[in-house]
Structure 1
Amino acid sequence: MGFEDFCRQNNICVTRCCLPKTTKGLCYLLEDTYYVLLNCNYSIETNKQSLKHELIHILKNHFNQDVCCEDDCEQEVDKIMPYADQYLQDYGININF
């Protein structure tokens, strides 16, 4: 499945926008749609890594966790990131842009 199809089927909207320099990307859930914002001040390669990071949060269902678990969620994603390409491919996601 293509990346755009995956996003459409899972209510994920990805956009590049101007964010503070300290923020490479972020994701939030509003009603039934996930919004992934990537900082346009960073390179495409950095945006790819940020996108992978945010998609893992979505796939791990971190948005249904208590706010107090935020550090645990970040640690879980950090452990997966070295294997992010394979992890995402296991879900049928191939990021090519």
Structure 2
Amino acid sequence: MKQSRFTEERIIAALREHEAGSKTGDVCRKHGISSATFYKWKAKYGGLDVSEARRLKVLADENAKLKKLLAEAMFDNAMLKDLNSKKW
């Protein structure tokens, strides 16, 4: 996955600026992002604190790791079943 230029702190700071009364276009121009990116961030991080956003990222990384382990285990299991079903 592509590494983001923006940390959770910067994302939440941009969202807080908008909540404080700045216009969406001004916030996007200041931070160099598109309005689509801003609204994507708002959907994902809206209402979160920095610590909650970090926890969300840690949980997402852990979830991806577990999914990878499960996929590898299922692949190994399928290979063993395939080998076992063949007649020697």
TM-score scaled by length of structure 2: 0.31
Q: Normalising by structure 1, report the TM-score.
A: 0.28
Larger CA Rg, structure 1 vs 2: 2
